């Protein structure tokens, strides 16, 4: 069964293999406040977005069954290892799945940053998300500074420098 699952994952990734990840972030103009949320992570810890006020926060919406989401997770983890001691936060919000599903998935796609669970989909509905993955960079003042629709190479220096510059 695991072999079949692996083949299926590889096949789905191959299907979107033609998509090249752009290393760009779209700047959001005007003062667009990031909708606040309170969610638990997979370790049971509660995170409130507004508690991160004062530092840039990368907020990523994803699911395990979304091929481009899987595609960008390794680079997000590499980016996190660069950013975690630089005063930048990273929160990945899984949409609609339970802890067990994410736990099994994390064996193949380990992440060291907090993975939050939005099982009912209530939080994602508050954000202007159209498709998955979508990632926002929230500025220290709580406004949305950048948006990325689709996967990115998150450890790209130019991309991370934009995030760092928000500090």
Partner 1 sequence: MSGLIEKVVIAGTLICGISMPLLVDAEVLRSSNEENGLEKWHFIAGDIEIELVQRLPDQTRALFMQHEFSREVVEGLATSCMFQTIIRNSGKSGTGQPVSIDLTRWRMQHAGKVSGIQLKEPLIESWSDADASPAAKLVVRWGMFPTRQEFLPGDYNWGLTAYAIPPGAQFDLEVNWKEDRILRSGEIRDIVCAPDVDRLK
- Residues lying near partner 1 in the complex (CB under 8 A): 8, 11-12, 14-16, 18-19, 22, 24, 26, 63, 65-68, 95-96, 119-121, 124, 130-132, 149-150
Q: What SS3 string covers the chain? A: CHHHHHHHHHHHHHHCCCCCCCCCCEECCCCCECCCCEEEECCCCEEEHHHHCCCCEEEEEECCCCHHHHHHHHHHHHHHHHHCCCCCEEEEEEECCCHHHHHHHHCCCCCCCCEEEECCCHHHHHCCCCCCCEEEEECCCCEEEEEEECCCCCCCHHHHHHHHCCC
Shortest distance in whole angstroms from residue 32 CB to partner 1 = 14
In this complex, which beta carbon is closest to partner 1, that of residue 9 or of residue 166?
9
| 47/147 with CB nearer partner 1 | 147
Minimum CB–partner distance for residue 26 and partner 1 (Å): 5
Judged by beta carbon, residue 35 or residue 96, the one nearer partner 1 is 96
Shortest separation between residue 57's beta carbon and partner 1, angstroms: 21
**Minimal distance in Å, beta carbon 73 to partner 1?**
15
CB closer to partner 1, 96 vs 140: 96
């Amino acid at each position: 069964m695991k072999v079949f699952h692996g083949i299926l994952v590889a096949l789905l990734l191959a299907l979107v293999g033609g998509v090249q990840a752009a290393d760009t972030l779209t700047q959001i103009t005007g003062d667009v406040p990031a909708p606040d949320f309170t969610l638990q992570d997979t370790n049971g810890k509660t995170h409130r977005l507004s508690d991160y006020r004062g530092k840039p926060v990368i907020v990523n919406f994803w699911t395990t069954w979304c091929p481009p989401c899987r595609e960008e997770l390794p680079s997000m983890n590499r980016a996190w290892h660069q950013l975690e001691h630089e005063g930048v936060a990273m929160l990945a919000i899984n949409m609609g799945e339970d802890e067990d599903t994410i736990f099994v998935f994390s064996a193949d796609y380990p992440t060291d940053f907090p993975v939050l669970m939005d099982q009912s989909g209530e939080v994602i509905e508050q954000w202007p998300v159209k498709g998955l993955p979508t990632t926002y960079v929230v500025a220290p003042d709580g406004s949305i500074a950048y948006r990325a629709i689709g996967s990115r190479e998150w450890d790209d220096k130019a991309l991370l420098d934009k995030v760092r510059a928000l500090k």
